[in-house]
Amino acid sequence: MTPLVLLIIIAAYLLGSISSAVLISRFYRLPDPRDTGSGNPGATNVLRLGGKKAAAMVLICDILKGMLPVWFSYYLNINPFLLGIIGIAACLGHIYPIFFHFRGGKGVATALGALAPIGWDLSGMLIGTWLLAVLITGYSSLASLITALAAPMLTWMVKPEYTMPVSMLSCLIVLRHHDNVRRLLEGKETKIWQKISRKTKPGSS
């Protein structure tokens, strides 16, 4: 590993550590998403707390945190395995942000951003998988798990040389959703439609 790659890995982690959900919630004077709703500082929880505009901003920022360092590295011709490590570093920053007391999100949007440089065809398939799973099940967390599990197979179909790093990234996402898996098994997980409807009720946030 060259010093340049090591520097990019550190930079990816630090960029991932910028919690857009917390910062945007502060900008809109919303409750801290780490302490309210699901407790997850991500776009879905911000959607519940502050509506579509704030959630869209969080989603875009979280995707860019993964996309920018990997895309930059991709054009430096860094090998696929190290690209995966850089993507994982960005996701680890999102999950365990050094600037926000290591209280981060699930890393799904950041992982999607990290996978985008592999190809827009792969990104489209991943987004389509997530949307289809949400429409069928109503659970954002379950859709994320299904997409993470499908990602290595979809990557193998598009660019097989990236299958291993994508598999590593998928494992990280699945492990991060262990609480959601427990709630799903117990029937306690909240559907995304319920989160949106609760936002419309007085005192819901």
d(CA 34, CA 19): 10
Residue that is written with structure tokens 């920018």 in the block: 68
Q: What is the pLDDT of residue 194?
A: 62
Parts of the chain with a pLDDT under 70: 193-205
d(CA 75, CA 132): 32
Nearest alpha carbon to residue 77 among 7, 13, 5, 11: 5
Residue pair 12/85 in contact by the 8 Å Cβ criterion: no
Say what the pTM is.
0.85
Q: What is the pLDDT of residue 202?
A: 38
CB within 8 A of 107, min separation 6: which ones?
A: 91, 92, 94, 95, 172, 173, 176
Q: What is the pLDDT of residue 140?
A: 86
User: pLDDT tens digit string along 80-118?
Assistant: 889 989 999 999 999 999 999 999 999 999 999 999 888
Q: What is the pLDDT of residue 89?
A: 96
Q: What is the pLDDT of residue 51?
A: 85
d(CA 94, CA 176): 11
Q: What is the pLDDT of residue 193?
A: 65
Residue pair 179/141 in contact by the 8 Å Cβ criterion: no
Cα angle, residue 42 at apex, residues 26 and 158 outer, rounded to 5°: 140
Q: What is the pLDDT of residue 197?
A: 47
Residue that is written with structure tokens 């936002």 in the block: 199
Torsion of CA 152, 157, 160, 162, to 10 degrees: -40
